[in-house]
Structure 1
Amino acid sequence: MATVSERDYFDHAAGAPLVEVARAAMDAVWRLPGNPSSLHTAGRSARRLLEESRETLAGCLGAHPTEIVFTSGGTEANNLALLGASSRPGRPRLAIGATEHPSVTGVIERLPGRVDVLAVDRDGRLQTSGLDVITERTALVSTMLVNNETGVAQPLEQVLAAARAADAWTHTDAVQAFGHLPLDFADLGVDAMTVTAHKLGGPVGIGALVVRRDLALAAPGFGGGQERKVRSGTAMVALAVGFAAAARAAVGDRETEAARLGVLRERLAAGITDSIVDVMVNGTAPVSPAVLNVTFTGCRADDLLLMLDAAGLDCSTGSACTAGVHQPSEVLLAMGRSEAEASSSLRFSFGPTTDDAAIDRLMAALPQAVARARAAAL
């Protein structure tokens, strides 16, 4: 089996390799002492680094620094938005898209009988006919900006209009959009937005919930209330510094990199459909240039993944939060795919380390791997 350094990595949507600018930025501050809530010199120095990182991230997102609430990642940010809105007086209900991340869909179990699920069409986009469930009893509407499994971009205009008419708050999980598509919190018009660092080459363990300044979310937890009284706990200064550095690099290179990845995505999609029979690309434009989801009819996705893994190619059967558990993709099921189709799909996701040579190696291995996986499934 190929060593890590010899492998081709097609799972950037699960976690991108740490970029050098983030590593260098963190190396410069890891050893510095000081709790940013302390008043002494070391504490004030830590606070300065934290707030400078907050300002940088806000600038990358078209937000005000006071709107940035640092979290441990996208999951916690999504949880804070949903649970923080669920106690709005007189508004007991939440509405979420059918193809959301588990950190959003999990609220169905957490708040039984209080969540309306917005259906999607076969392309994974919300069906406007279902938006009438958003009423004056809805506290918050949450829908992804870019789907983590298919890369499908969700137009938000009609969702926002329905929410505004009902005076419901709006939240979008923009984890997969950040660094790949234009992202401006003020222009987007939502009340809250989730981003995270490790999808764009920042460190694992830090994300942010961007919350409109005049919106007061209830805090699901308790403690010192360090992050705008929504999240408690000692701030992770070095991680914030790394997040800011990675965000600045990703936003600075976004247009060039998105164009480059888009060409690679289209090349891989064309190569697969031209050389392998009975395949289907899941999701139509607009999509992220960094994600390609393909159904290989007649395969078990896990079998195909492991054959590619043995060939030195890392990809995914779907969300990293559910991968490793043999089950059909909930996202593809919600898009109207059969259980067999939802169990035979792979996600290839791209980033700075993806190049033409990597696509060549994937395409050289894929047809034979698919043939073997189909034979194993008979």
Structure 2
Amino acid sequence: MPDKIYLDYNASAPLKPEARDTAVAALGIGGNPSSVHQSGREARAIIERAREDVAILVGGRTQDVIFTSGATEANNLAIRGFVPEGEPRRVIVNGTEHPSVLEAVGDAEHLPVKADGVVDIGFLQRMLADRDWRNCLVSVMAVNNETGVVQPIDEVVAVAHAAGAKVHCDAVQAAGHMPIDMLERGIDIVTISAHKMGGPRGVGAVATGPGVALNAIIRGGGQERGMRSGTENPAGIAGMGAVCASAPSYGPNVAKARELRDRLEVALRETIPASVIVAANSPRVGHVCCVALPGVPAETQVMMMDLEGIAVSAGAACSSGKIKTSHVLREMGLGDDISGSAIRVSFGWNSRDEDVDGFLEAFHRMAARIGS
């Protein structure tokens, strides 16, 4: 078995040293953050420092950051908690969103994307044209987790606000890779996750803009300003704060990830003509490549690459042990030959040139074995 090559940063990034060290140090504080004695105050101070770091990263206000158990809970809080219970509301979600957005409420309306994976702004205008929507939330992610397509959030905000609607942006795959600047851009709610940036698993955050009040979906204790009951996780939150604080200094790593991704895609086009780079001509972040071998099931590719010591993901989601055709690629109008045969290669802060070399060697062997 060769040395392991990890190319699945969009699923979970390896823990950054600063996150590990900060989280370990926080583990030594035994107090409950809600206690008023010294140990409790020390734990509370850790959380509040991290809250400041998250606010700075997303461009929001410290007092408007709420810690959660991860992005799935954060997205549910953003959408399900948008208006007080019992009041009428409307939710519009981009059809290529993460399932935690698509499935947060059962009556969400879907905003389609065009063939390039970018949301149809004209369609959104028509959806909002019939009235002044004061209790409407439009949810569009900053960066798609499967394809890396960057959505026109500024245009979404302009259209939504003109109709009186608010905007939620799942920025999980954008945080640490590009500026978010929620207050400057007028984004009303932002959600992020620690472990996608190299922080600990099981920690996320919601940041709200001025005038946005969410309704708690977890009650019984009143923690996080009454918005998320349950004793906070100071160690995990501290690790999240550390990666948020270090994100601005990781510009060279972001550039390196793009360089590696671009080299990978050039090589695939030149040496395996049957391969298809999804959304190749769309606006994309630089660390994600979604590549399909038409007719070869994604799960087969993932397993064969794993046997070669290379970790990648299927472009499709797993549910109860069954691989499903990617809803993202189907929304883009791609047939089953592509949407069922796409894998995702994603780079990050610790990616190396030899990772690309190893992937290409293994991918060539796999393609030759299956006759592509």
TM tier, smaller = over 0.9
Q: TM-score, normalised by structure 2?
A: 0.94
Query: Do residues 133 (structure 1) and 141 (structure 2) align?
Result: no
Query: Do residues 334 (structure 1) and 331 (structure 2) align?
Result: yes
Q: Alignment partner for residue 119 of structure 1, among 104, 112, 116?
A: 112
CA distance in 2: counterparts of 1:316 and 1:178, whole angstroms: 20
Assess if the C-alpha contact under 8 Å between 2:254 and 2:348 holds in 1.
no
Assess if the C-alpha contact under 8 Å between 2:117 and 2:149 holds in 1.
yes
Deviation of the 1:352 alpha carbon: 2.2
Deviates more, 1:210-219 or 1:132-141: 132-141
Aligned to 2:59: 62
- C-alpha distance 320-115 of structure 1, shift in aligned 2 (>3 A): closer
Aligned to 1:217: 214
Q: Alignment partner for residue 236 of structure 1, among 233, 241, 248?
A: 233
Query: Do residues 156 (structure 1) and 167 (structure 2) align?
Result: no
Helix, strand or coil for the counterpart of 1:29? helix
Q: Which amino acid aligns with 1:43?
A: G
Deviation of the 1:30 alpha carbon: 0.5
Aligned to 1:273: 269
Q: Which amino acid aligns with 1:16?
A: A
Assess if the C-alpha contact under 8 Å between 1:56 and 1:248 holds in 2.
yes
Query: Do residues 295 (structure 1) and 289 (structure 2) align?
Result: no
Deviation of the 1:213 alpha carbon: 3.7
Task: Give the 5 Å matches for 1:171-190.
Answer: 171-190=168-187
Deviation of the 1:67 alpha carbon: 1.5
Aligned to 1:48: 45
- C-alpha distance 322-316 of structure 1, shift in aligned 2 (>3 A): farther
Q: TM-score, normalised by structure 1?
A: 0.92
Deviation of the 1:319 alpha carbon: 6.2
Deviation of the 1:14 alpha carbon: 0.1
Task: Give the 5 Å matches for 1:92-103.
Answer: 92-103=89-100
Helix, strand or coil for the counterpart of 1:225? coil
Q: Which amino acid aligns with 1:256?
A: P
Deviates more, 1:216-225 or 1:165-174: 216-225
CA distance in 1: counterparts of 2:226 and 2:132, whole angstroms: 26
CA distance in 2: counterparts of 1:319 and 1:26, whole angstroms: 32
Deviation of the 1:322 alpha carbon: 5.3
Aligned to 1:314: 311
5+ long unaligned stretches in structure 1: none
Deviation of the 1:227 alpha carbon: 1.3
Query: Do residues 352 (structure 1) and 349 (structure 2) align?
Result: yes
Aligned to 1:195: 192
Assess if the C-alpha contact under 8 Å between 2:176 and 2:197 holds in 1.
yes
CA distance in 1: counterparts of 2:18 and 2:243, whole angstroms: 7
Deviation of the 1:44 alpha carbon: 1.0
Q: Which amino acid aligns with 1:129?
A: G
Q: Which amino acid aligns with 1:95?
A: I
CA distance in 2: counterparts of 1:205 and 1:15, whole angstroms: 11
Query: Do residues 38 (structure 1) and 32 (structure 2) align?
Result: no
Deviation of the 1:295 alpha carbon: 1.5
Q: Which amino acid aligns with 1:99?
A: T
CA deviation string 1:209-251 (max 9, x = no partner): 0111431111122112211322111111111111111122222
CA deviation string 1:326-351 (max 9, x = no partner): 11101000000012210000100001
Q: Which amino acid aligns with 1:230?
A: M
* Deviation beyond 3 Å, 4+ runs, structure 1: 86-91, 135-138, 319-324
